[in-house]
Chains A and B, each alone.
Chain A
């Protein structure tokens, strides 16, 4: 018993070091937020139309695999991820856009300049997107048969091993 006690400091050190090793190597992001919307139906948002583009009706988005992307013309990472959204749309998966706190003419100019991958678009001039648990732009949602299957916060840059693209591939 007494001798076992001498090993106690080593055991404590081992436990602390083990926790540190786990924290460093598990890939867990302590700042990441849960996204309760994942697994639920995509909520119905009252979005406003953008010029004469087809209006996104999130409440009745329909079946199959689809992508909903929240973007803004003033958002620099949105420019960076735009080509990836274009290629997703070209591969046959419908991509829909929500323009977040953006002037309509700025959004239209953005789509003119970078191309419009969106099958339908809606404008959120208010706080509708908080329903999705949005923390900023860009954010992208994978929707399978009307339910959110994956929530990517931040740009999708198409790097190998991208978690969103892997989820998209798995869904189709």
Chain B
């Protein structure tokens, strides 16, 4: 049963990659790098999808371009830079860390710290109580309830 599920999953694998058979490089190592890079590049007409999972014409062209660069001897970063030089940083699905993306990268950690400080202050204040002794009336009431 488990083997059958695994076999089905393996057969379904190409369903979430749009790479067509005629695009695949002969060298499996280069092809694996090309697919990895393909998942990091945004399809310029579908925006939410990577070029690896899009069947749009320009996504196919970009997949072929990435493969062409890798065959020409580019490193992964050089191949990404090549595409960024033509389409801008918006094509990267993982934005680069830099001055212009500082808010984007640091905001979650910043908010966590801010929230943590707020929560800690509130909890400490609550734990401390009012710091005032009971009045005579209040003491009487406590006695009565006992």
Binding site for B on A (CB under 8 A): 31, 33-37, 101, 127, 130-136
Q: Report yes or no: A135 in contact with B90, Cβ–Cβ below 8 A.
A: no
Between-chain CB contacts (< 8 Å), 28 pairs: A31-B47, A33-B44, A33-B88, A33-B90, A33-B91, A34-B87, A34-B88, A34-B90, A35-B88, A36-B86, A37-B86, A101-B57, A127-B61, A127-B64, A127-B65, A130-B58, A130-B61, A130-B62, A131-B86, A133-B86, A133-B87, A133-B88, A134-B58, A135-B45, A135-B58, A136-B45, A136-B57, A136-B58
**Interface bin, chain B:** 10 to 19
Q: 4 shortest A-B CB distances, which residue pairs? A: A34-B88, A135-B44, A127-B61, A133-B86
Chain B residue nearest in CB terms to A100:
B57
Contact with A along B62-82 (1 / 0, CB 8 A): 101100000000000000000
Bound Cα distance from A136 to B86, whole angstroms: 14
Contacts of B123 in A (CB 8 A): none
Contact with A along B12-30 (1 / 0, CB 8 A): 0000000000000000000
Chain A residue nearest in CB terms to B47:
A31
Residue B85 lies at the interface, judged by CB distance under 8 Å to chain A = yes
Chain A residue nearest in CB terms to B88:
A34
CB distance from A24 to the nearest CB of B (A): 19
Give the dominant DSSP class at A's interface. Answer: loop
Contacts of A132 in B (CB 8 A): 86
Q: Report yes or no: A130 in contact with B88, Cβ–Cβ below 8 A.
A: no
Say whether, besides A130-B65, A135-B58, A34 and B89 are in contact (CB < 8 Å). yes
Chain B residue nearest in CB terms to A132:
B86
Contacts of A34 in B (CB 8 A): 87-90
Chain B residue nearest in CB terms to A101:
B57
CB distance from A30 to the nearest CB of B (A): 9
Contacts of B91 in A (CB 8 A): 33
Contacts of B44 in A (CB 8 A): 33, 135
Bound Cα distance from A127 to B90, whole angstroms: 20
Bound Cα distance from A15 to B107, whole angstroms: 15
Contacts of B86 in A (CB 8 A): 36-37, 130-133
CB distance from A54 to the nearest CB of B (A): 26
CB distance from B47 to the nearest CB of A (A): 5
CB proximity to A under 8 Å, residues B119-139: none
CB distance from B128 to the nearest CB of A (A): 15
Say whether, besides A130-B62, A130-B65, A36 and B57 are in contact (CB < 8 Å). no
Contacts of A130 in B (CB 8 A): 58, 61-62, 65, 86
Bound Cα distance from A133 to B45, whole angstroms: 12
Contacts of B87 in A (CB 8 A): 33-34, 36, 133
Contacts of B88 in A (CB 8 A): 33-36, 133
Bound Cα distance from A44 to B9, whole angstroms: 46
Contact with A along B82-102 (1 / 0, CB 8 A): 001111111100000000000
